Amino acid sequence: MSVLTEMFRNLFSRPVTILYPAEKVPVPPGFRGKVTIADEKCIGCSKCSVVCPARCITMTDSPREVEFKGKNLARKKKPRVKLYKCIRCGLCERHCPADAIHLTGEPASCGPSREEVTA
Ligand code: SF4
Ligand code: SF4
């Protein structure tokens, strides 16, 4: 096909690109995006921090009461995730006993300071 034919054909066809960010590409099932933590579910067991191969989860002080399997537990710690170091392996999600940490469909976050890319 000559260049001219190709050019004229494309003049009357729909573009293959989309108007991002006005239009969004559907997120496929199983996509590993930004890590989020449900504080109200987290029992502060540190398992996510132990299994993380990128060493991006640290446990920080957060005294609180959490309901777990019908019991109220007094917890001292909660995880903080350095999203800029996360490799989206999903091990934290797989090993969490309280279903508190998840990889969402949101793409990786970015920001001018480390605080803004910490969950
Ligand atoms: S997805 Fe992997 S690298 Fe990211 S916080 Fe979880 S365990 Fe760590
Ligand atoms: S493994 Fe789950 S419950 Fe345990 S500290 Fe991490 S997020 Fe919290």
Which candidate, 53, 40, 62, places its Cα nearest to that of 91? Answer: 53
Nearest CA to ligand 1 atom 5: 86
Atom of ligand 1 nearest to the CA of 32: 1
Distance CA(65)–CA(67), nearest Å, equals 7
CB atoms within 10 A of CB 97: 11
Instruction: Indicate whether residue 57 lines ligand 1 (CB < 6 A).
Output: yes
**Ligand index nearest the alpha carbon of residue 54:** 1
Instruction: Indicate whether residue 66 lines ligand 1 (CB < 6 A).
Output: no
What pTM, to 2 d.p., does this model score? 0.79
Report the CATH number at residue 39: 3.30.70.3270
Which residues span the domain enclosing 55? Answer: 25-117
What's the pLDDT tens digit per position in 6-26? 888 888 888 888 888 888 888
Distance CA(106)–CA(21), nearest Å, equals 13
Structural domains counted in the chain: 1
With a cut of 90, say whether residue 52 has pLDDT above it.
yes
